[in-house]
Structure formats: structure tokens, C-alpha cells
Structure 1
């Protein structure tokens, strides 16, 4: 990068040059996590956590159909999330090795210790729901999974943001809220597919509230992301996230206006499920795009350095 100067007083006659990388090479390594394993892991874990919270609240307020739907979704989501993670790791033993120690400073270690016990208690609650056996134990398991659920819903966002990938690290403040909102709306949408409309009032409210949180947090995230927002707005990630946003908006409005209509509720629930999966994939892909282009690593670093020097 160079700058030509005038002959008289050494004044610049051209604007600042755009960033160019050293020999055009990447600065950080692109994540090797597989598709669809990791996006599915992100999506299913969030769905499981939000569904467990819904099931626990439904149990406490006397809504058995909603409780059952939430317990089954939590167990199925957590189990499938573990399978997706193990498939990405390559061997089940690698997941078990992560449980050998608990390291509070490692989001991966903390996440493993959230995922494993949550999956166990969610499965116990679902088994009791299906068989009718040990209802007391089933209720206790459901309540415990509901308490662990907020961490289950958001820890994957912390896991991504703790990496050096600029597309994730630069949005570390807002990303957990995006994941939480998406998970809540998806869990509510899934319940709309399976619960009678007369008992689905809390699910409708979850769907709308989660959509509002997700869309608001995503807008704030992109507004404050600086240059990195470009990775979220262009190419494949941009197209996927725009589609997810459109589906979420349409489904939330339909649920709020005509959610008591069974057909509307079913379509809205399906749209929210597709939107939740698309949101996770779009965010995952935006991170990979940002890792491949060195400008997303270097320019934010220079901007932070300039701000520090000016203070």
C-alpha cells in the first residue's frame, strides 16, 4: 500500500489506499467444522433448550399437551445435537474426552458439561412422559432441564464468539441474544405444529416474543459490527439470512394476528423452524467467509488500535 505526494508541500493527492493482504494470503485458518453437522448442532441445541423451558413452565401451569410437546422436543433436539457434534468430531471417544475435566475458562469444556447433563435429564423427562412411569422423577427431570435450558440455548453462541473468527468474535455481545431469540421462536413454532390451539397460547407468545428478540438483536448486531457486517449481508450468508428474516417476520405477524387458526398456526410454525435453521447456517457461513478474507481480521484490529491511541 503506497501513497503518492505532491511536489510542493508533501501533501497527499490520492485517498487512503484500500486494504490489501500480504501476498493475498489468509491470516487465520478457516474453521474445519463440517456442514451440515455444526449448523445442525447449533440449531438443535437451541431448540432443545427453549423447548425444555417451555415444558417446565407448561408443567407448572397445568398444560399437559404443551408440556409433552416441549419434553419430547427437548429430548429429541438434545440427542440429535449430540449426534451431530459426534459426527463432526469423527469419533464418540472425542466427545467423552471433553468430559474428563471441567475447565471454566474454556467455552468448549463448559458447553460439553452443559450438553451432557441436559441431554440426560431431558431424556428422562421425555421417557416418563411417553411411558407414564415414575411421574415424580419425570417432573423433577423436566424442571432441572428447564433450569439448565437458558445456558443450553446460548452457550453455542459463546463458543463461536470465543474463537478468532472475526465474523463471530466481532459480534460477541449480540450473538447470544440472536441465538436465544431464534431458539425461543423456533420452540414456540414447533409447539404450534403439535399442540391444540386452545392450549397453545404460551407457544404463540413465545413465537412472537422470540422473533422480536431475534430480529432486534440481529439488527443491532449488524449495526455495530462495522466492516464485518459485510460478511453477513453479501453472498450466500446474506441471501440465507435475508430469507430467514423474511420467514420470521411473516410467521410472527401471522401468529400474532391469526394464530388461533389451526392452519395458520401450522404454516407459521413450519416457517419459524425453517427460519431458525437458516439463521444458524447463515451465521456459521458468515464466520467462514470472514475467516477467508484477511481484511475482516486486519481492518477491525487497526480501527481498535486507532481508537485506543486517540483516547
Structure 2
């Protein structure tokens, strides 16, 4: 056999078909015959992963996920503070949303390498592509938050600032959660298998981050909505994450190993503790700052943990092949 023939056979071997995944002798055993050789334990082809792991820069993309959530939920708090006569809550939320989305875009562009690559994603609009929808969403949302923050700082053009604040709040929930859809749309096992619950996990995480910023920056007398949002966000984040892990089966395993395990455990403790502190003594300024810091840090730990768990699941062929085998077994 020539070298090229061997290479072609090797490529064919790297893509196991139905017989390869279920065992070449699976049907013969049903007739009482014994296989000539034992079933091979699948690892990968020449030690290479079945999937290419994400090439995104961890700090850039995990930071992009976190800051986008913080921005989107902060816009909701900003609009709520504005509409209920709480300027001490609205002002830091507007500034926080503008700052967070600016840093989020900077992290995304840094990962892409050149600003032109982000602009290229705006050349077409594909409703079926989470990346395309997300790019257009950011392109519309970022100017609104910047306008709201600029008019707040300048103290002028209040009507324009109010309109921009409300409009950014309309887009805020999508900005906070579309990245979960983006991750779930990939073939990475620990992201793809969480497609049902991950948007709710990210929504809760965004709410806790925004409430944490507001608790740390707003006067306690005007931070009531932030305290309530902290409790609701923590309940949604922790509850949805536990439900996701139960349903995902094997693909949930990377969340409980190595670095992701440390980050997810820290996220649970900080988020739950921050929510409890947020409502324990609402008028205590120092306690509010501690609660806010815990919620902000917990939300960041969750986003970084989700990112790392996905990368780990892509590196291990077991998380791709075993579910395929189980699915084929159920079909038969």
C-alpha cells in the first residue's frame, strides 16, 4: 500500500460510521456468535481530538461573555431607575452599561485581530446565524448606551438620553443572553448540550452582575430594585445551572473537574452569598459594597467556568463519541 493509500484509509478510520461506533460484531452477538476480536476502546485518531477545540483567546472571549451580560442587564436597571425616579440608581447603571459594552467590544475585536473583521460581519444579515444576529445587535445597542451615558454626564439633552436609555433597555435582555445561543450553536459538547438552559443561566448571571454593580455604586436608599434583582438573578442562575447539569448527562462532567470545577463552585458561593448579603441589611453601605463585589465576581467566575468547561469537553473525544454510541444504541 502506498503512503497516500494509507493516508486515505486513516482519514476514513477517523470518521467512524455506524458499525464502528456500535461495534462491528454487535449484530452477530444477538445470534449467539462470539467476536473474533474484542471491541476497541475509542480514544481518537492518532491521539488527535475528534473536534478542534475553540481557538478563541480565553481572556478575551470569556471577558466578552461576562461584560456583555453586565451591560445588557445594567440597561434594564438604568431604565427602571429612570422611570421610578431613582437617579442615584439610573446614573451608575447607565455608565456601567456603556463602559461594559465598550470593553466587551474591545475584547471581541482584540480576539478577531482587526476591527475590520467585526465590520465585515455587518456586511450581511443572516437570521439563522447567532454570530450575525449578535453582531447587528451589538452595533445597534452600543451607540444607545453611549448616548445615554453621555447625556447623563453632560446633564443636557435629557429627552434624547431618556429615549436612548429606554431603547437600550429593550435590547438589553437579548444582549445579555445571545452569547449563550452563540455557544450552544457550536459542536462543543458542554456548550451544545446545554442549549435549553444556558440562556437562562446567562440571564441570571447578567442580572446578578448588574445588581452587584448597582449595589456597589448606588445610594442604599435607591438600590431597592437592585437588591430584588440580585435575589431573582441568583435564583435563576443557580437553579437553571443545576437543571442543565442534570439533563446534560456525560457532557456536564467537565463542569466538575479541574479549573472549571473551582470556578463554578466559587460562582455558586459568591452568588448565593452576595444575594443573601444584599437583602440582609439594605441600609448598610459597607455591606452593600461587599455584596456587590461578591455578585460581580461570582458572575465573572460562572462565565469563565462555562468557557473553560467547553474547551475541556472539546479536547476529550469521549464527550463526543460516547453520546453518539448511546444514541445509536437507543435507535436499535
Shorter-chain TM range is over 0.9
Shift of 1:259: 3.3
Q: What are the residue-to-residue correspondences of 1:133-282 with 2, within 5 Å?
A: 133-282=156-305
Contact 1:190 1:269 in 2 (8 A): yes
1:26 aligns with 2:49: yes
Counterpart check, 1:110 vs 2:133 = yes
Q: Please tell me whether Structure 1 or Structure 2 has the larger radius of gyration of its CA atoms.
A: 2
Aligned position for 1:305: 328
Question: Could you tell me how far apart the structure 2 residues matched to 1:136 and 1:109 are?
Answer: 31
Tell me if the contact between 2:58 and 2:307 (Cα under 8 Å) persists in the aligned partners.
no
Q: Is contact 1:2-1:17 (8 Å) kept?
A: no
Q: Which residue is 1:47 aligned to? A: 70
Deviations 1:226-273 (Å, cap 9, x if unpaired)? 101111111111111111111111111122222332111110100111
Which SS does the other structure have where 2:93 is aligned?
helix
Tell me the SS of whatever aligns to 2:58: coil
With normalisation by structure 1, the TM-score equals 0.93
The answer on 1:126 being equivalent to 2:149 is yes
Distance 1:297 1:129 in 2: 50
Aligned to 2:7: none
Distance in 2 separating the partners of 1:60 and 1:146:
12
Assess if the C-alpha contact under 8 Å between 2:190 and 2:251 holds in 1.
Answer: yes
TM-score by length of 2: 0.87
Paired residue for 1:291, among 300, 314, 332? 314
Q: Which position in structure 1 is the counterpart of 2:114?
A: 91
- The structural deviation recorded for 1:184 is 0.2
Q: Distance in 2 between matches of 1:16 and 1:136?
A: 71
Which deviations, in whole Å up to 9, do the C-alpha atoms of 1:135-190 show, x marking residues without a partner?
A: 00000000000000110010011111101111100101111111000000110011
Offset at residue 23 of structure 1 (A): 3.5
Paired residues, what number?
304
CA distance in 2, matches of 1:18, 1:242: 32
Mark the runs of 5 or more structure 1 residues left unpaired by the alignment. Answer: none
Q: Deviations over 1:112-153 (max 9, x none)?
A: 011111000000000001101110000000000000011001
The answer on 1:58 being equivalent to 2:71 is no
Cα RMSD (Å) of the superposition? 2.0
